[in-house]
Every structure is written in structure tokens, then in C-alpha cells.
Structure 1
Amino acid sequence: MPPVDRRTPAASAPERAGAPEAVVVVNARSRRGAVLHDRIAPALAARGVRVLDVHVVRDPGAELPELLPRVLATEPPMLVVGSGDGTLATVVDHLAGRSTVLGYLPLGTTNNTGRSLGLPLRLGAALDVVAHGRTVGVDLGRANDDWFANLVSVGLSSEVAGRTPHLLKRRLGRAAYALTAARALATHRPFEAEVTADGRTLHVRTHQLNVANGRVHAGTAIAADAGIDDRLLVAYTLGGAHPASVVAAAAHQATTPWRPLGHKGYVTAAQVRVVTDRRLPLDVDGELAGWVGPDEPLVVRVDAGALRVRVPQRFVLRDPLAHER
């Protein structure tokens, strides 16, 4: 992971003048990337973007750790990424704190980060945002030393991330996760966690604990006033120890995106620390990355304005101290 140069923070770096220039990276294994990857560069060029290079990856876990440092060493004005949430979690590890702007094309299954940014899911409209949108600074979360854009979680979701077949996601979309979760819940054991948020400590017993930087989980807004640029994390459980409570909580969450955080009983903080009663894998934006346990605390922090990203003209900044970058 490259170090972040705090002398030139992402939030204050100016955009370069003239026609946009970009390097394109597309995950051909993402749900729509396999079909759409060859259309992206010509479509950007037609919108006035000068495409400097194109990289199509088919094994992101193996290819991106070498590819991204090499691409970013040239300091391209913009990095256009077509992918799902998991690939983007790797990308932000390398983009955090840089002046390079992210132009994101949501081509995955759930596209939580794209939804958090207000991006359209239709390719043509997303390309319009890359070419003609605004550049703003949004927050990243840090799970110990791992940056992420949207959400880190412990519990059932980690099993779902590891079990959901790639082909099933391509065929069924978000329903593939729901189907896998229903099967996994039948044998999943609840866990106990101590959650400390800005000095307040809570003890929970649950199957699922989430800490969100973004505003969307499972394709639905977490709350009406949650945001990816508000300098806050949102910590919440989905149900308690009984499997039926998980189903009820997930259904309630999915049907109440209009309710504010304060009415949902969710905890907001700039830092959240989690310790669990047994060692459990972490789900970081849909990818398994790290562990949490009795002797391995998870500390999640907000890195305010760490990512410069293209958003629609109508995107509303929620942080009153934030400004357009």
C-alpha cells in the first residue's frame, strides 16, 4: 500500500485544466464488465475524454497490486475504473490521498459505493458523469490499515462473501447474495462483540455487525441522512442472536431507507473499535480481508476527504464544512 502524502491532501489538490485525460481499468470478471469492457474507451473518447491507456483485468486479486502502483506512478489526472465494490476496495487503497480523480463505473452486482455516490447504473449515464460531472472530496474508512469506500462487516456477510459463486452473482444479481445468506444463516453461530464508539461502549450478541462509511448497504440506503462525505461512521447490528431476528432486521432496514439515523438507534462516530468473542473474518466491501477477535481488535476510522471522485452535478454534499474540489 503506497503511503499517503499529507502535504498535498486529496481534498485540496486542484483539477488540471483542459480536456480530461484518463487511464481506464476494467474488471472483466465483474457482473457487467465482461460484456461492456470494450465499449468504455471509445465511449469516453466520444465524450471528449482523452484515454491514455486501457487495462482489462481478469484476475483482480493477482493483477491489481502490481498494476495500480505502475499506473499511478505516472500521476494520471483521472483513473476510470469499471468494476464492482470488491475491486474498488483495492483501488482506493492506492488512490487515497492522491490528486488523481476516480471516475467510477458501477459494473458489479450490488454497487453499494456507486449508489452512495449517486452514480447512475446505466453505462452511458455513468460515462456522462465521468466526462462532465463534478469532482468532490469524499471520505474513506480505514479498517485498521485497510482503506475502504463503503462498509466493513463481521459475521454472516463474511460467509456470504466467501460462499457466493461468481456465476450465480452474474445470473441472479443481488438475489444471489440473499439466497446464499439464507442458506448460511441456518448453521451460522451468533457472536458477542464489544463496540466502542467515541468513548461509548456497547455489548451486543448478533449474527451481523456493520460499520459503514458510505450510505448504502445491500443496495438500499442505510438511513435518510447517512452520507459518504459526512466525516462519520455508522455502526449497527442486523438483529440479535436468533436467526429470525436477522431476517426481520434486514427486512426492516430494506423498507425504511427514508428514516433518519437517530430514529433507527444506529451509532455514529468518527472512530469505532470492535472486539469479538472469537476470531472472525472481516468483510471489506464484499471481499474477505483480515480478522477480528479477542486479541485482534478492529479499529475503524474516517479519513475525511481522502478520495477525489467524479459525481453527478446534482450530488449534494452532506458535510457542511465540505466544499467542491
Structure 2
Amino acid sequence: MHTGKIVLIVNPGAGDGSDLEVIGDWADARPGATVRRTREGGDAERFAREAVDAGASLVVAAGGDGTIREVARGLVGGASETRDRRGLRPGEPDLPTLGILPLGTGNDLARSLEIPLRIGEALELLDRGERRLMDVVSLTLDGAPAPFYLNALTGGFSGGLHGTIDGETKAAWGSLSYLRSGVEAWKDRSVYPIEMEVDGKRTQHRALNLIIGNGSSAGGGMPVALGADPFDGLLEVVVFLDASGLELSGLAARLFAGGDDDHPALVRLQGRSVRVRTGGELLPVSIDGEPGEAADLSIEVLPGKLPVLVPPRSIQGQAG
């Protein structure tokens, strides 16, 4: 059992009442645990910064990918602010470890980290998980620095989907809301001529879709960046090329089945830094589910920046 100071940052709009009750019971059984509930955007990041300043050793994000993203940004930003304010050296104080309780619709980061999606198993992981240093990804959009991301940036067809999926659709369709919105948006798909530079090597493509993954799962559970590992200091770049509807339907089926080797409509690359330029046309993007657009994207992996609790390596691959 974790015995240090624990702060649980809970999005009460995610999950259901039974999940929240179980989380509350878990916290009540630990004298060092405090539960803070978000009410609006920005709360989770602020609570995480305050947890760093208060000396928490474990900060748990209970919610969807958006909540987890906010908490992670608050942890990294809060540690930097605390160092500056107290005149500490780089590396002091240590960041609290991030724990994850996946209560969202897509839960892509949890899937990428092999964190169990069942709330009881995810809570058990908070006590027996392994602390590992996860990579994060820095991002610049059209020359302007943007907040780092954790799991995946998608661009093109899938990049525009997240802006069309509202809370009502998620509530009614669950994880299938991503597939439903994709089918509806298919008729309006565009092809984007892109120039891509991966670790200095340039290529050009006519792309329907682009994924730059630190994690393997995107779009509500689709394993698209199969070679991505959030701990290896590399990014997985996946480009879906312009192709016929029949070819792309076959590729989608293979992706859902967990395999896509050697498909002619797919390009896979790996590297530490990626630049994507469209020649001026705005590319719709989704950054860990957060919508945006840009014509010039610069992406770089920052190795080992965020401590996170994950299943011990001896049992990875068994999460459900």
C-alpha cells in the first residue's frame, strides 16, 4: 500500500456513480489521501500544481484523456515553478508519480500504457505498479509553442473528428462514438500534400491521415502506432496515403485486428524529431484529443520527463 501523501484529482463527469464510489472508498482507507473534484476546465492542472507544492508523492488522475493531460501538465509545470520559487537545483523536487484511473470514453493513454480499464484493477495498480519515467512530446504549431502531449497527435481526417464528437454522442455511443463520427465524416475527407522530415530525412506524401505517436492507441482504442513505446525515446510516425475506399476499409479492418504489416496505403517511420509542412493549407489536428490546426508542425520527443505508474514489466500484456 502506498503510504505517502496522495492526491486524487477526479472528474465527476467521467465514469459512473459506482466507479466514483469505489474510488472514494479506496481513498478513505488511506490516511494520506485527499480527493479533489474538478468543476471546469483548468481545475485538474491547477490541482496538480498545488499537489506538487504540497509535497505529494502520488497524484492520481481519475477521468478521461483530457483530465490526464491536464494533470500531467500541472505536474511538470508545478515542479518547475516550485524549483524557481524555492531556489532549488534542477531535479528538485522530484515530480510526484502520476497514477491513472481511466474513466473516459477512449482511454487511449491508458491503453498505450497497458493500464487496466476496469476500475478495481486500476486501483490495485496504484499500490503494486512500477514507477517508470515516461517520455513526453514537445510541440510547435506554426512557430508558436504549444503544451506538450503524452500519447498521440493525429492530423488530417482523424484530426478533425474530435471536434465533432460531443458529450451527448459519447454518452450514447461510448467508444463507438469515434467510429460513428468517422463514418459520418468519410464523405468529406480531404487529401493533404505534406512534406515530412523525420530526424532530418525528408519525404513527401499525399496523406489522408497522419499519426505521430508516443503511445500505440488512438481514436478511441484503435492500435494504430503499433511500434510506439512511451519509454524508448522515439516517436512512431504513421501516414495513411490516399487510396480507394475498398483499400482503406481493408486497412481499417486489419488495424482493429491488431495487424497491418506491409499495407500499400501505409507508411511507417520512427525518429526523435518530426516536422510536417503542408505548403500553407491548414491541417486539422487532434493533440491527445484536443482539437487544433496548423500548416507547419514541429514535434520532438523529450525522454523520461514524467514518472508514471504502470503494470510491472513482468505482467505487461495482460491488462484488460
Sort the Cα spacing of 1:156 and 1:18 in 2 relative to 1 into closer, same or farther, 3 A.
closer
Write the distance in 2 (CA, Å) between the matches of 1:160 and 1:301: 24
CA contact (8 A) 2:197 2:203 kept: yes
Range that drifts further, 232-241 or 116-125: 232-241
Within a 5 Å distance, the mapping from 1:67-78 to structure 2 comes to 67-78=47-58
Candidates 242, 248, 251, aligned match of 1:249? 251
Partner in structure 2 of residue 181 of structure 1: 182
Within a 5 Å distance, the mapping from 1:32-111 to structure 2 comes to 32=15, 35-46=18-29, 49-59=30-40, 61-96=41-76, 99-111=95-107
Partner in structure 2 of residue 12 of structure 1: none
Write the distance in 2 (CA, Å) between the matches of 1:260 and 1:187: 27
Write the distance in 1 (CA, Å) between the matches of 2:269 and 2:190: 24
Sort the Cα spacing of 1:20 and 1:168 in 2 relative to 1 into closer, same or farther, 3 A.
same
**1:168-214: CA deviations, max 9, x gaps?**
21232221111111111211222121111011111111221110001
Write the distance in 2 (CA, Å) between the matches of 1:35 and 1:120: 17
Write the distance in 2 (CA, Å) between the matches of 1:113 and 1:315: 20
Sort the Cα spacing of 1:276 and 1:315 in 2 relative to 1 into closer, same or farther, 3 A.
farther
Within a 5 Å distance, the mapping from 1:262-277 to structure 2 comes to 265-277=267-279
Partner in structure 2 of residue 281 of structure 1: 284
Deviation at 1:235, TM superposition (A): 0.8
Deviation at 1:33, TM superposition (A): 5.2
Name the amino acid aligned to 1:100. Answer: P
CA contact (8 A) 1:115 1:216 kept: yes
**1:68-91: CA deviations, max 9, x gaps?**
333332231110111111222222
Which runs of 4 or more aligned residues in structure 1 lie more than 6 Å from their structure 2 counterparts after TM superposition?
A: none
CA contact (8 A) 1:27 1:33 kept: no
Partner in structure 2 of residue 11 of structure 1: none
Partner in structure 2 of residue 306 of structure 1: 305
Question: What SS does the corresponding residue of 2:188 show, helix, strand or coil?
Answer: coil
CA contact (8 A) 1:191 1:206 kept: yes
Deviation at 1:234, TM superposition (A): 0.7
State the percentage of identical aligned residues: 26
Partner in structure 1 of residue 83 of structure 2: none
CA contact (8 A) 1:101 1:310 kept: yes
CA contact (8 A) 1:44 1:127 kept: no
Sort the Cα spacing of 1:105 and 1:183 in 2 relative to 1 into closer, same or farther, 3 A.
same
CA contact (8 A) 1:24 1:79 kept: yes
Normalising by structure 2, we get a TM-score of 0.82
Range that drifts further, 223-232 or 208-217: 223-232
**1:79-119: CA deviations, max 9, x gaps?**
01111112222222222375210010111112111111111
Partner in structure 2 of residue 227 of structure 1: 229
Sort the Cα spacing of 1:136 and 1:100 in 2 relative to 1 into closer, same or farther, 3 A.
same
Deviation at 1:157, TM superposition (A): 2.0
Within a 5 Å distance, the mapping from 1:187-198 to structure 2 comes to 187-198=188-199
Question: What SS does the corresponding residue of 1:115 show, helix, strand or coil?
Answer: helix
Unaligned runs of 5+ in 2: 80-93, 141-145
Sort the Cα spacing of 1:315 and 1:136 in 2 relative to 1 into closer, same or farther, 3 A.
farther
Within a 5 Å distance, the mapping from 1:130-149 to structure 2 comes to 130-144=126-140, 145-149=146-150
Write the distance in 2 (CA, Å) between the matches of 1:142 and 1:315: 30
Sort the Cα spacing of 1:267 and 1:56 in 2 relative to 1 into closer, same or farther, 3 A.
same
Unaligned runs of 5+ in 1: 1-16, 318-325
Write the distance in 2 (CA, Å) between the matches of 1:258 and 1:51: 46
**1:16-62: CA deviations, max 9, x gaps?**
x97133101111222x155522431322444xx44442111243x24
Sort the Cα spacing of 1:135 and 1:25 in 2 relative to 1 into closer, same or farther, 3 A.
same
Deviation at 1:224, TM superposition (A): 5.2
Write the distance in 2 (CA, Å) between the matches of 1:226 and 1:315: 19
